[in-house]
Chain A
Amino acid sequence: MTAPRTLLIIPCYNEAESIGVLLTEIARLNLGYDTLVIDDGSSDHTADVARALSPVVQLVSNLGIGGCVQTGIKYAWNKGYDYCIQVDGDGQHPPKELAKLVAQKNTADIIIGSRFENITSFKSTTMRRLGSRLIMLTLYALFGGKLISDPTSGVRHMNRRAMALFARDYPLDFPEPISIARALKGGLTVNVVAVQMRERLSGVSSLKGLRKSISYMVRVLAYIVLARVQKPPVSLSKNYEAIND
């Protein structure tokens, strides 16, 4: 029996300063996963830096984080990977923490690394924690199941059931919380594992300022409610057949 194959999907946009450090760290840890950097049309040297250390898919035009991650998921699905792990290219997610997600891989279709389960290192802002709590409660009220303490986390482990759904249907805007809602609607299971996170190595959050944060919350909550009332775009079984063809 062959060992399961895992692909690390690293979406990047103008992360030339951090991507090299992250890829070197991954290589040094010898995790045994393939890596794939998806460069979302960066205007700096992200792709060149990454290419020296990992295979790179350079999007011909900027699609945003949703389209970027979905490209990696499509790749993982098409190449027959058993699992894929999404890790941000800004270095917020220490690669050594990935083992915690992998250890729980049989407990659910999607394992989310949560920074709020057991905070001992990097502490997120109060606003962000409040926002995450509100999204968590909305998801719980609408879909039930387990409380997802960090629905906006960008570090997540997916099996082929999750890949099959997301390769076909993945939100373009604010993908992390909305993809959870769509996954739950599609009958997937989600589990949460405490992970340590650190401050990003470079760059700034796109959600700075009260106005942007409120706008983000309103839109995300609206999309989550929409996911609850919408029909799943394609049923899971159909998804498998369609993508397998």
Chain B
Amino acid sequence: MIEPYNPTWPSIISVCLFGSVYLTYLIRKMMRRSIDLYDFMMLSMVAILPLIFVIIPAIANLGAELAGVRLPFIIMFSALFVVLFIIGHRLTSKITKLENNNRVLVQELSLLKASLEGHAPRQGCNTLLKSTDEKKCL
């Protein structure tokens, strides 16, 4: 028979302390618009999940029973892993998109700059050859 998980007072206090400090930090970042609401929700799971486990241990025990694992904390770390995976996946997609946008912007800006400075060849004009057509282009 597996003994149900019962958190001790020191573990409840330390998790609560970590949760409150971490959530305060995240809220401050969100207020400063460093992160958006979705990021806040995902990142706050890192504090909320352990808080649920220590404050309502029945949920931890139920989860462990349903999943058939001996230690309820395996469920918590699995859930945290999933959260981190979602965050990582979202960030990777975002970076790829930003990278593509950045490339297009750099290219368009450079072409526009060259066009404004008159460095790029105009249509039908070979700027290297001294042909009669060149005069028309000038």
What's the dominant secondary structure at chain B's contact region?
loop
Kindly state the interface size class of chain B when it binds its partner. 10 to 19
Interface positions of B from 87 to 138, Cβ below 8 Å from A: 103, 106-107, 109-111, 113-114, 119-121, 123-129
**B128/A26 in contact, CB under 8 A:** yes
Knowing A32-B126, A32-B129, A75-B111 are in contact, say whether A55-B119 is a contact too (CB < 8 A). Answer: yes
Whether B106 contacts A67 by the Cβ 8 Å rule is yes
Query: Does B119 contact A57, Cβ atoms closer than 8 Å?
Result: yes
A-B contact count (CB 8 A): 69
Q: Which residues of the partner chain A approach B109 to less than 8 Å between Cβ atoms? A: 60
Complex: chain A residue closest to B118, CB-CB: A55
> A147 interface residue, CB < 8 Å from B?
no
Residues on A with C-beta less than 8 A from B114 are: 55-58
Question: Contacts A57-B110, A58-B113, A58-B114 hold; do A30 and B129 have CB atoms under 8 A apart?
Answer: yes
Q: Does A80 contact B (CB under 8 A)?
A: yes
Contact B111 A34 (CB under 8 A): no
A202 and B111 CA atoms in complex are apart in Å by: 27
Complex Cα distance, B125 from A186, in Å, reads 32
Given contacts A51-B119, A75-B120, contact A27 B107 (CB under 8 A): no
Task: Please give the distance in Å from B137's CB to the nearest CB on chain A.
Answer: 11
User: Assuming A60-B110, A75-B111, is B127 touching A54 (CB within 8 A)?
Assistant: yes
B80 to chain A, nearest CB (A): 31
Contact at B128–A60, with CB atoms within 8 Å? no
CB within 8 Å for A55 and B121 given contacts A60-B113, A67-B106, A70-B107: yes
User: A75–B112 Cα gap in the complex (Å)?
Assistant: 10
> C-beta contact mask, B60-85 vs A, less than 8 Å → 1, else 0?
00000000000000000000000000
Please state if B119 and A56 are interface contacts (CB–CB under 8 Å).
yes
Does any Cβ of B come within 8 Å of A207's Cβ? Answer: no
Q: Which residue of A55, A58, A172 has the most chain B CB atoms within 10 A of its CB atom?
A: A55
**CB–CB A34/B107 < 8 A:** no
Residues of B within 8 A of A26 (CB): 128
Q: A63 at the A/B interface (Cβ < 8 Å)?
A: yes
User: Do the beta carbons of A57 and B126 come within 8 Å of each other?
Assistant: no
Q: Are A36 and B120 in contact (CB under 8 A)?
A: yes
Q: Do A67 and B125 have beta carbons less than 8 Å apart? A: no
Say whether B111 contacts A71, CB under 8 Å: yes
Give bound CA distance, A75 to B122, whole Å: 11
Taking a contact as CB atoms under 8 Å apart, the answer to whether A59 and B126 are in contact is no
A208 within 8 A of B: no
The CA of A58 and the CA of B36, in the complex, are separated in Å by 35
Q: A74 on the interface (CB 8 Å rule)?
A: yes
Q: Which residues of A contact B121 (CB under 8 A)?
A: 7, 34-36, 55, 79
Does A49 count as interface, using CB distance less than 8 angstroms?
no
> Is the CB of A61 closer than 8 A to any CB of chain B?
yes
Check: A33 CB closer than 8 A to any chain B CB: yes
In the complex, the answer to whether B113 meets A67 with C-beta atoms within 8 Å is no
Question: Which A-B residue pairs are the 4 nearest by beta carbons?
Answer: A57-B114, A71-B107, A27-B128, A59-B110
- 16 A-B pairs with C-beta separation under 8 A: A23-B128, A32-B126, A33-B126, A34-B125, A36-B120, A36-B121, A55-B121, A55-B127, A56-B114, A57-B110, A57-B113, A60-B109, A60-B113, A63-B107, A70-B107, A75-B111
